[in-house]
């Protein structure tokens, strides 16, 4: 039996599947927007179900998990544009579906966390969406640097696979340094004013250092950042049961609560 609702959202990028959690409750509640991992080409929204059910139970927020269009059929900028349009659709129906549009956060895991950073930058630039927080779980933040030149700790995603992911998502190599693709290339002006961030990195991950670097970039731009480093964890660890996963999920729930509770509204 499904523990989520399902909605098909029509966008300029095509039909986007969205899984909904907590929408059976008509009372206005905050909304958390989730995007799954998979290197921009793999997996689906159902992959995050265990995590989203936990976060729904522990925070009381409503959750949508967006099954964004996948590369290589839909390379950058299609996925972040589809996410933006989907979120705007939910904001437009906020009163009808019991969403407190003043308290919307966004986040994701791996590639989904990359999309969350891109959407936050796009929302700031366009002024059409407002997020209370961004939750970034082991995100890829530098698609311009050759994967073979990054740290390669035991158990990390192979550079061959990482190269494939990046090539499928970024068709034009000149786009690789676009901050919406590789946030580590953003200027302080582009980062300033972004929502508070929770950034989770894993020690056995080739993406570890760029996550730490991005956290510092956000801090220097005046953005509130909480960085948690799991030195013995591998990329994608929150998809599997472990003590580190339990700790990371508690951190995520606390972060969401801290940025969505009524007392936090100015």
d(CA 208, CA 202): 6
Residue 203 pLDDT grade (very low, low, confident, very high; cuts 50, 70, 90): very high
CB 238 within 8 A of CB 109: yes
pLDDT in tens, 126-160: 999 999 999 999 999 999 999 999 999 998 999 99
Residue 255 pLDDT grade (very low, low, confident, very high; cuts 50, 70, 90): very high
Task: Please check the confidence at residue 4 and state whether its pLDDT lies above 60.
Answer: yes
Q: What is the 3-state secondary structure (H, E, C) of the chain?
A: CCCCEEEEEEECCEEEEEEEECCCCCCCEEEEEEECCCCCCCCCHHHHHHHHHHHHHHHCCEEEEEECCCCCCCCCCHHHHHHHHHHHHHHHCHHHHCEEEEEEEEEEECHHHHHHHHHHHHHHHHCCCCCCCEEEECCCCCCCCCHHHCCCCCCCCCHHHHHHHHHHHCCCHHHCCCCCCCHHHCCHHHHCCCCCEEEEEEEECCCHHHHHHHHHHHHHCCCCEEEEEEEEEECCHHHCCCHHHHHHHHHHHHHHHHHHCHHHCC
Q: Mean pLDDT, to the nearest integer, of 116-120?
A: 98
Task: Please check the confidence at residue 58 and state whether its pLDDT lies above 50.
Answer: yes
Q: In this predicted structure, what is the pLDDT of residue 262?
A: 66
> With pLDDT > 90 as the criterion, what percentage of the chain qualifies?
95
d(CA 243, CA 156): 19
Task: Please check the confidence at residue 263 and state whether its pLDDT lies above 70.
Answer: no
pLDDT in tens, 155-200: 899 999 999 999 999 999 999 999 999 999 999 999 999 999 999 9
d(CA 149, CA 39): 18
Q: In this predicted structure, what is the pLDDT of residue 3?
A: 82
What does the CA dihedral 65, 101, 251, 112 come to, rounded to 10 degrees?
Answer: 30
Strand partners, 226: 198
């Amino acid at each position: 039996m499904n523990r989520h609702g399902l909605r098909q959202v029509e966008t300029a990028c095509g039909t986007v599947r969205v899984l909904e959690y907590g929408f059976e409750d008509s009372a206005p509640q905050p909304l958390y927007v989730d995007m799954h991992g998979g290197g921009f080409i793999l997996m689906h929204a159902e992959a995050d179900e265990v995590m989203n059910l936990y976060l729904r139970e522990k925070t009381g927020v409503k959750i949508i998990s967006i099954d964004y269009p996948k590369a290589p059929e839909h390379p950058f900028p299609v996925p972040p544009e589809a996410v933006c349009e989907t979120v705007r659709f939910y904001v437009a129906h906020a009163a009808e579906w019991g969403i407190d549009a003043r308290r919307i956060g966004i986040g994701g895991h791996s590639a989904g966390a990359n999309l969350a950073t891109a959407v936050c930058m796009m929302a700031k630039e366009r002024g059409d969406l407002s997020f209370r927080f961004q939750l970034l779980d082991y995100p890829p933040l530098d698609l311009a640097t050759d994967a073979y030149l990054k740290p390669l700790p035991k158990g990390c995603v192979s550079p061959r696979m990482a190269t494939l992911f990046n090539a499928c998502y970024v068709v034009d190599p000149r786009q690789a340094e676009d901050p919406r693709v590789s946030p580590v290339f953003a200027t302080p002006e582009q980062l300033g004013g972004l929502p508070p961030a929770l950034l989770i990195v894993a020690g056995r991950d080739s993406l570890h250092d760029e996550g730490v670097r991005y956290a510092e970039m956000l801090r220097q731009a005046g953005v509130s950042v909480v960085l948690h480093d799991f030195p013995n964890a591998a990329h994608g660890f929150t998809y599997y049961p472990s003590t580190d996963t339990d700790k990371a999920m508690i951190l995520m729930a606390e972060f969401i609560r801290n940025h969505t509770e009524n007392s936090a509204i100015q």
